[in-house]
A and B are shown apart, each in its own frame.
Chain A
Amino acid sequence: MLADLDWLEPATDFRVRLKAVRAAIAEGTGDEEQLYALALGRLDLNQLGQLAGAVASYVATDAAPGPLARVRLGVIGSGTLGLIEPAIAASALRHRVIATVVGGDYGSAMQDAIDPQSALRTAGLDLALIALDYRTLGLDRAQPNPGAAVDAAAAMVGAMVDGLAASAAGGVMVATIVPPVEPLFGSFDAVEPGSVAAQVAALNARLADWARDKRIVLVDIARVAAWVGLDRWHDAGQWHSAKLPFDPDLIPLYADVVARTIAAVRGTTRKCLVLDLDNTLWGGIIGDDGVDGIALGQGSAKGEAFLAIQQMALGLRQRGIILAVCSKNDDDVARIPFRDHPDMPLKEAHIASFVANWGDKATNLRAIASALNIGLDSLVFLDDNPVERAQVRRERPLVAVPEVPADPALYPRILLGAGYFEAVAFAQEDRDRADQYRANAERAAFAGTSDMVGYLASLDMVADIRPFDAVNRARIAQLINKSNQFNLTTRRYTEAQVAALEADPAKLTMQVRLTDRFGDNGMISVIVVDRATWEIDTWLMSCRVLGRRMEEAVLAHIAAAARDGGASALTGRYLPSVKNKMVAGHFGKLGFAKVSGEDGKETVWRLDLADYAAPELPMRIVDGS
């Protein structure tokens, strides 16, 4: 099931559609959404290769940046990787990334990684992937001194990581090592540290430690191999004849797992699971069968299967994935099981946006995205009904819609195996996010009953403004790489670069947190200002807090720092991107005068500090600097 990427729709008419896209690219009218659409099907190795070719020709046209993220990925490792590289480039499209994949030379992983002048390291990489095999790490035989062999292998991988990290600022991904099928002792392999299986496990444990310390990003290929089974994964004949590290039939799965990790690094993973109700969250139809008639809970195989789906949804919510409901039902009927069914673990409080009506789902999904203030490309829609799935796919190609098997017992496996919500970090912020979105919906309801000034005053807002620090570094880097809409310059910095900014006395850095009577909004703004020129290098804010006058609070803080530094003016710059039109007028609204640039293009703005007075704001400021 997972080996064949069964969550994807069959790739019908692929060759015909590919031809059309190729023709469009050749005429200079190719666009990124066409490429994305082609990647949504269940593509085989040949089709992935063909699509990778189309990506490469599209990139070669130097088209203006579109909605997809761009990445240059270097790949080194053991054996023949030439079939894997194009498959990664094609699969990345599915995760809304245009990847240019640069392969190292065959058998030269170490040289490619440690020589600063190697073709790979001088290729302008953003990210790198190290994909090694136990057979090239000296771990292919039992060792009398297993610690030494694992140390040596770890040193080798570490040298590659450090070399590549110097040239791939976005990070180095390392695939875990897949253990061999063949036992030496049998079950005792797990007990004897010198066995191949135990040595591989020891090395993988070190890789996980490195990932926890942010030295690398882990791609757990060993786990993926376990999904499909080592007996199927390893193809000894292909290793002997062509040095293919695993059965090439599994390359589409491997490439998708690498691609979803890239998406997690670049912040293009999905944020919200939208659930259908009848026959998706419970068995039967609530409007026909009633709360006593639907299948849910212990006591029947069917009821337990739907219980497991709800537990899966709750598990996702606990790690920060937003839950929403989109159902064809009367609203009051749809809510009955949430309120009255004794075995229902999901409650209304877990659902950030609850839409039950008789309208079409494509329209309702747009309403959900807009209520939550997230993009359609953040949604995953789970629905048992193939007609609804097809309608949503046709009308809303940005929404991910998994194919599901006939048996609901398999829904959790297919949804989670599809990797829509891949993560490379987990912070307290993530734990709290689902609550924040819900609190936001409550704030919106509260706002409806009051005038704006009174509303803001009644929120009891407290803004905490302080410089970057090590504790919040990962979250700051996450925001810098994820924020698109309220982002004046869309400059991306890696965690290492954030650390450098943090230590640089020539930069004014600010992280802003906002709490109010409904809860903690978490970190909602990140700012970097150059102290020499007093130009605002980076200014981004969470769209969750729009309309709360946070922009003015931030400006007041910058202006005070600039006056202390002897400045007479601030400079702001707007660099347009596909997604940040909403802030084109940002500086103008704050009282800056435009110095240069046309509307809709790059503009430069100036605020004369002599004319600026900090406004009265409906919040308390805690200055942590």
Chain B
Amino acid sequence: MTVEEIVAKIADVMVDVFDVDELDVTEATSADDVDEWDSLSHIRFIITLERLFKIKFLNEEIADLKNVGDLARVIQAKLPA
């Protein structure tokens, strides 16, 4: 799966997790761009992605992510080739 495809899937998840009607998500989107993205909804965000992609993140893998692009690349690396 390409990073673009993963970002598109993440965008769908974000609408549900942050409970917003529309969200313009790009690789550069970060927590600063979404009001509803706080520490609690971040946990929901991560576990929703884990469930969707059938992966499990290590804390260290997601501790220093800056934006959705970083996140998509971590997910891409964990997906079976």
Contact = CB atoms under 8 A, between A and B. Distances in A.
B16 A46 contact: yes
Given A46-B48, A237-B58, A249-B51, A242 B43 contact: yes
A82 B40 contact: yes
Contacts of B47: 45, 248-249
Contact of A83 (B19, B40, B63): B40
A232 interface: no
B59 A49 contact: no
A248 B43 contact: yes
10 contacts: A45-B44, A46-B44, A46-B48, A49-B19, A53-B19, A82-B40, A237-B58, A241-B59, A241-B63, A244-B43
Nearest to B57: A237
Contacts of B58: 237
B43 A83 contact: yes
For this complex, into which size category does the number of interface residues on chain A fall? 10 to 19
Interface of B: 16-17, 19, 39-40, 43-44, 47-48, 51, 58-59, 63
A41 B43 CA distance: 23
B63 to A, nearest CB: 8
Interface in A68-109: 80, 82-83
Q: A interface, by DSSP: helix, strand, loop or mixed?
A: helix
A45 B51 CA distance: 12
A537 B58 CA distance: 61
B51 A49 contact: no
Interface string A220-258: 000000000000000001101110100011000000000
B62 to A, nearest CB: 9
A240 B59 contact: yes
A85 to B, nearest CB: 10
B45 to A, nearest CB: 9
B23 to A, nearest CB: 14
Nearest to B50: A249
A533 B39 CA distance: 57
A248 B44 contact: yes
A491 interface: no
A61 interface: no
A422 to B, nearest CB: 27
Contacts of A544: none
A46 B40 contact: no
Interface string A29-49: 000000000000000111101
